[in-house]
Structure 1
Amino acid sequence: MEFAGIKAIVTGGASGIGAATVKLLQERGADVAVLDLNPDQAPAGVKAFHCDVSSDASVRRAVEEAAEQLGGIDVVVNNAGVGAQGTIEANDDDEWHRVFDVNVLGMVRVSRAALPHLRRSSHAAIVNTCSVAATAGLPQRALYSATKGAVLSLTLAMAADHLQEGIRVNCVNPGTADTPWIGRLLASAPDPAAERAALEARQPHGRLVSPEEVAGAVVYLASPLSGSTTGVDLAVDGGMQALRLRPRSAAS
């Protein structure tokens, strides 16, 4: 129960990785608030607030409401984000602006609004949801990869800026996770079963990453027990980024 007395906000906490993170934080003793476009879908037992991370006014209102209800903020999990497919030709300028606005500036807005509260905390931490797409070239993910590359650089810069204020900043880099967004991609594929098999085969451990596995990494980085961990990008990808395995033989 290392999170006893810790107050956390999780953006995009109503589903997928965000919801798994909320549940684990609760289990470890944290008081959690969800900031989401669909707060009514948040896990049971948490405070939930409507928040559109593409709107500074919406973010500031939701952060202040959460801080008031929680009695402060110690941990920020910047998890809200949107996906994008295709090469650089596949999306027009408006879509590039929209996805950057949510995936990158959304984290800026939430962190900026929470900083006054974090500066008053003795266990302040920010954890950003990044992606293996920030560190490995993936096909048909140009726009998405560009935003996650920005998140990785932003995380390092924030860690440097706020370390002396007692605020740790890290990120997690999931591989392809079994989330609602991936579910929608699979459902729209000509052969969903073949597409799922291809995604699973791309990861050395042979399956999609579970939201609960990513949540475990987020909670580690947010924990008061990890006080010397900052400026870290933690891969949760079944070895996708770092390992180069030989193909399995027919006998194996």
Structure 2
Amino acid sequence: MTTALQDKVALVTGGSRGIGAAIAVRLAADGADVAFTYRGSHDRASDVVERIKATGRRAVALAADSADPVAVRDAVERAAGDLGRLDVLVNNAAVFAVKPLEETGVDEFEEAMAVNVRAVFVATQAAVPHMAAGGRIISIGSNVADRAVFPGLTMYATSKAALVGLTKALGRELGPRAITVNLVVPGPTDTDTNPADGPAAATINGFTALGRFAAPAEVAGVVAYLARPEAAYITGATVPVDGGFTI
């Protein structure tokens, strides 16, 4: 059976856990060969590799620190080289930086911007030469860029808000090449760093219209749609997957 992304090649940054892992596995289930980067656990990365291979697709795990622009660029080149091409780039890697303003060092702010913004720019810049018409660039933002309901989110909200402008500008620039650029904006999502049964979960649920956290697979489903051929006329868009958090 032919699937929506049959024989496409995708690279997912930060793909060893949480939303990134769900995206990597979903793209594979839709027919893509998938490379992904990871920084921490080799065991987690190996698990995602096996889940991708279980769909019948090729998998490549690339150790790379998104704070290092050389490592980011090298990961893109290795993904395209190992899998033969590149059709979809998902910029998912991020640091969830939460700290009061008075306690935030400039070095911490710069790290958040390096991983959450600069790495997106660098990976996109490196990926575009490998993409033909129909290429897809999809970045993962955050609902707190629109609604920061807790203190201490200045670094994170600033970095994620920057992706809105980056997405729009890239969409305009790459449109003539038929490469689309979109931003998926999750709300509260059940991950290791923000579990649906965590101490603040009940309060966070109250900020959403649906009264619950998303499953990572729900975010991955939207990313997968934007990677499909039928999404070819969507670019420069910010797509919320936030359970009504910002309405």
Deviation at 1:79, TM superposition (A): 0.1
Taking the aligned partners of 2:109 and 2:95, their CA distance within structure 1 comes to 11
TM-score, normalised by the number of residues in structure 1: 0.88
Instruction: Give the AA of the match of 2:173.
Output: D
**1:174-189 correspondence to structure 2 within 5 Å:** 174-183=186-195, 186=198
Indicate yes or no: 2:85 matched with 1:67. no
What is the match of residue 169 of structure 2?
A: 157
Residues 94-114 of structure 1: per-residue CA shift (max 9 Å, x gap) = 111111111000111111111
Instruction: Give the AA of the match of 2:121.
Output: V
**1:1-252 correspondence to structure 2 within 5 Å:** 1-38=3-40, 40=42, 41-42=44-45, 43=48, 44=50, 45=53, 46-118=59-131, 121-140=132-151, 141-183=153-195, 186=198, 192=199, 195-242=200-247
How many residue pairs match? The answer is: 233
Of all paired residues, the percent bearing the same amino acid is 36
What's the secondary structure of 2:101's corresponding residue? coil
Comparing 30-39 and 126-135, the one that deviates more: 30-39
Return structure 1 stretches of 4+ with deviation > 3 angstroms. Answer: 183-186
5+ long unaligned stretches in structure 1: 187-191, 243-252
What's the secondary structure of 1:181's corresponding residue? coil
What is the match of residue 249 of structure 1?
A: none
TM-score, normalised by the number of residues in structure 2: 0.90
Deviation at 1:185, TM superposition (A): 11
Instruction: Give the AA of the match of 1:71.
Output: G
Taking the aligned partners of 1:19 and 1:139, their CA distance within structure 2 comes to 27
How large is the RMSD of aligned CA atoms in angstroms? Answer: 1.7
Taking the aligned partners of 1:155 and 1:211, their CA distance within structure 2 comes to 22
Higher Rg: 1
